[in-house]
């Protein structure tokens, strides 16, 4: 395996772990692997910071919308679902 492919695979795994840790605890091995990768990869560190910021903003939006009772229309939901399906089928 070439060095570039190995780096890409490691970055892909690191971003997966960064997202996973938002929803569930990482295993000891995953924590170590992520720390080692982040120590040497500034792009994944930046991704982690950006992802955390986006997650915080979305959580704040949900907290704010609960007090305001914002609702998505059924038509918007259908359009969004179609868009997601189109993207997944590419």
Q: With bands split at pLDDT 50, 70 and 90, how would you rate the model's confidence at 4?
A: low
Higher-pLDDT residue of 7 and 77 is: 77
Say yes or no to pLDDT of 18 above 60. yes
Residue 43: C-alpha distances to residues 11, 15, 65, 80, 89 (Å)? 9, 10, 33, 30, 28
Say yes or no to pLDDT of 73 above 90. no
Say yes or no to pLDDT of 8 above 70. no
Q: Supply angle C-alpha 41, 11, 61, rounded to 5.
A: 95
Q: Among 8-12, 19-23, 66-70, 86-90, which stretch is predicted with the lowest mean pLDDT? A: 66-70
């Amino acid at each position: 395996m070439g060095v570039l492919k190995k780096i890409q695979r490691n970055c892909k795994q690191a971003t997966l772990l960064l997202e996973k840790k938002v929803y569930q605890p990482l295993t000891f091995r995953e924590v170590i692997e992520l720390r080692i990768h982040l120590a040497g990869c500034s792009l994944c560190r930046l991704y982690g910071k950006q992802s955390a910021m986006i997650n915080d903003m979305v959580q704040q939006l949900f907290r704010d919308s609960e007090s305001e009772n914002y609702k998505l229309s059924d038509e918007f939901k259908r359009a969004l679902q179609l868009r997601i399906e189109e993207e997944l089928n590419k």
